[in-house]
């Protein structure tokens, strides 16, 4: 975003953080030009384009036995208590955990909290569980909390992010932004309708 602002200072950018349903409703109503969401699910009337991937990390207390490891595998995480926000991206993370950790009739211990991701991370140092985050959300540091990359059978666990916009959106700033990210990140898609 900083690169865009530096090359297009005349365009005012207003960022909105909200649950997936709110963002998609804003997109549908024309109140939001583009939204970036975890995953790549089709939504009627919206163009969807994968943009980037980030590594998934486990956030855990510094006193946790896994803190000594450089990498934690999905199979290592069976039996852990996971704390996730009930708001986005918590439900997506829960679905990933269910898909990766459910074995036979046993499901992982996942606690959805009516708290922000930041609040959950701030209490992990007390030893009340672990959480799952994406690499991009590790800029803030919390007392006695560390991050370790998660690996699966094929290597690092990744989660993708996709951009969504309406094909009929005529905002020239949106077209310029799509051109900017396509060129800057060498994305192989044509954003013109």
113 & 168 share domain? no
148 & 61 share domain? yes
> What is residue 8's predicted lDDT score, i.e. its pLDDT?
80
> What is residue 51's predicted lDDT score, i.e. its pLDDT?
86
Tokens of 74: 């999905």
76 & 137 share domain? yes
Provide the percentage of residues in the chain whose pLDDT is more than 70: 95
- State the total domains in the chain: 2
189 located within any domain: no
Split at pLDDT 50, 70, 90, the class of 182 is confident
> What is residue 67's predicted lDDT score, i.e. its pLDDT?
94
99 located within any domain: yes
Residue 191 pLDDT > 80 = no
Q: In sequence order, what are the residues at sequence separation of 6 or more whose Cβ sits closer than 8 angstroms to the Cβ of residue 116?
A: 85, 87
For residue 51, count other CB atoms closer than 10 A to its CB: 17
143 & 130 share domain? yes
Supply the range of the domain harboring residue 76: 54-156
- Rounded to two decimals, the pTM is 0.84
């Amino acid at each position: 975003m900083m690169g865009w602002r530096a090359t297009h200072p005349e365009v005012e950018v207003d960022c909105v953080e909200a649950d997936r349903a709110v963002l998609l409703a804003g997109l549908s109503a024309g109140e939001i030009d583009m939204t970036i969401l975890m995953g790549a699910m089709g939504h009627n009337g919206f163009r969807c384009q994968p943009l980037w991937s980030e590594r998934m990390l486990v956030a855990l207390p510094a006193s946790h036995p896994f803190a000594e490891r450089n990498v934690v595998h999905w199979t290592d995480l069976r039996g852990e208590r996971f704390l996730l926000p009930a708001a986005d991206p918590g439900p997506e993370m829960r679905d990933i955990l269910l898909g990766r950790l459910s074995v036979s009739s046993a499901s992982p211990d996942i606690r959805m909290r009516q708290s922000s991701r930041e609040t959950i991370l701030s209490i992990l140092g007390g030893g009340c569980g672990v959480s799952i985050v994406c690499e991009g959300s590790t800029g803030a540091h919390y007392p006695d909390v560390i991050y370790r990359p998660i690996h699966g059978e094929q290597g690092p666990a990744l989660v993708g992010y996709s951009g969504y916009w309406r094909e009929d959106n005529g905002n020239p700033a949106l077209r310029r932004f799509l051109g900017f990210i396509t060129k800057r990140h060498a994305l192989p898609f044509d954003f013109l309708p």
